[in-house]
């Protein structure tokens, strides 16, 4: 599933150009086509077609893993889910087999939402509150380590599932969570209540470090779903079970945490219980 860096890369390309395609900001919509009905979450088909016609793209931004395309009067919101992608092509290029929704522009280009597994969704809404209101803070915008520490210890959950909970922090997924936990030296099974102030600080720094690097590398391309990034060449633990840890040389292990394959170093990320003190450490 595309995570924050991959979604951010797509948004930047749509907004400013990239991924071998021009920016769509300023373009006017000619018409829309829905090739897989379930992709459209809301509104109904007729309203979708009517409301999009002649609308202009004003801006594109990301919230968590959602792509928000600002129109003149409303918002076109896309969630890629497991296998979604957005592609800008001239009309002279044929649609692909798994294109589910196509937005045709007046300038001879189209925006295609391609989704092999059919889990992705698109919304056309007048506001964003009812759709995005439950998302947690953007990880790259968190600057209050005290608040982050307090929120961690107030949730009695294993740390990996908690970081992937979009209501706790938005945009984190399997890849970047594994990488951040390795940098922070925290075992994915550790309970959030066990973390010390120092560990919380280190974890927040690791999350922001790995996300920034992922964005710099245009995300990670690890299979046929998302292409164009190079962060996979710098993985420390993700997808490297049985290979040597880049820090200590111990073989990376893989377990299942929260129904997700999870990679970690048993030496750099020991699983043990510590007793958190009320006083901040350090």
Cα separations in angstroms, 89 against 52, 81, 166, 245: 19, 22, 32, 41
- Catalytic residue, chosen from 62, 65, 160, 217, is 65
Please state the length of the chain. Answer: 282
Closest CA to 52 of 88, 35, 24, 28: 28
Burial 201-219 (b: 16+ CB within 10 A, else e): bbbbebbbebbeebbebbb
Q: 54 - beta bridge partners?
A: none
d(CA 202, CA 204): 6
d(CA 152, CA 198): 12
Clarify whether 260 is annotated catalytic: yes
d(CA 55, CA 74): 9
d(CA 20, CA 238): 28
d(CA 200, CA 192): 9
- Catalytic residue, chosen from 3, 8, 179, 194, is 3
- Catalytic residue, chosen from 22, 260, 266, 276, is 260
d(CA 134, CA 114): 26
Contact 203, 180 (CB under 8 A): yes
Clarify whether 2 is annotated catalytic: yes
Q: How many helices (H) and strands (E) does the chain have?
A: 7, 11
Clarify whether 156 is annotated catalytic: no
The helix, strand and coil proportions of the chain, stated in percent and rounded to the nearest 5, come to: 30, 25, 45
Q: Look at the block and give the residue holding tokens 């749509």.
A: 14
- Catalytic residue, chosen from 2, 5, 139, 188, is 2
List active site positions.
2-3, 65, 260
């Amino acid at each position: 599933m595309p995570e924050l860096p991959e979604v951010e890369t797509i948004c930047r390309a749509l907004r400013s150009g990239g991924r071998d395609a021009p920016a769509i900001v300023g373009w006017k919509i000619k018409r829309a086509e829905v090739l897989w009905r379930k992709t459209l979450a809301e509104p109904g088909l007729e309203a979708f077609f009517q409301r999009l016609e002649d609308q202009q793209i004003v801006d594109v931004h990301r919230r968590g893993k959602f792509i928000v395309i600002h129109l003149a009067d409303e918002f076109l919101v896309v969630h890629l889910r497991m296998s979604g992608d957005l592609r800008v092509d001239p009309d002279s290029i044929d649609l692909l087999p798994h294109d589910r929704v196509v937005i045709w522009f007046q300038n001879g280009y189209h925006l295609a939402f391609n989704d092999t597994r059919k889990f992705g969704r698109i919304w056309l809404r007048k506001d964003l509150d009812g759709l995005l209101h439950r998302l947690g803070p953007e990880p790259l915008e968190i600057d209050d380590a005290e608040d982050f520490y307090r929120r961690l210890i107030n949730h009695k959950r294993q740390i990996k599932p908690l970081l992937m909970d979009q209501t706790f922090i938005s945009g984190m997924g399997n890849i970047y969570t594994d990488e951040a936990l390795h940098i922070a030296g925290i075992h994915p099974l550790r309970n959030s209540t066990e973390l010390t102030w120092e560990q919380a600080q280190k974890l927040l720094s690791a999350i922001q470090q790995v996300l920034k690097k992922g964005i710099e590398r245009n995300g990670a391309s690890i299979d046929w779903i998302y292409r164009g990034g190079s962060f996979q060449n710098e993985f420390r633990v993700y997808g490297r079970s049985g290979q040597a840890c880049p820090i200590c040389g111990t073989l990376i292990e893989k377990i299942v945490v929260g129904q997700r394959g999870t990679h970690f170093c048993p030496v750099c990320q020991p699983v043990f219980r510590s007793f958190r003190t009320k006083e901040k450490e350090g």
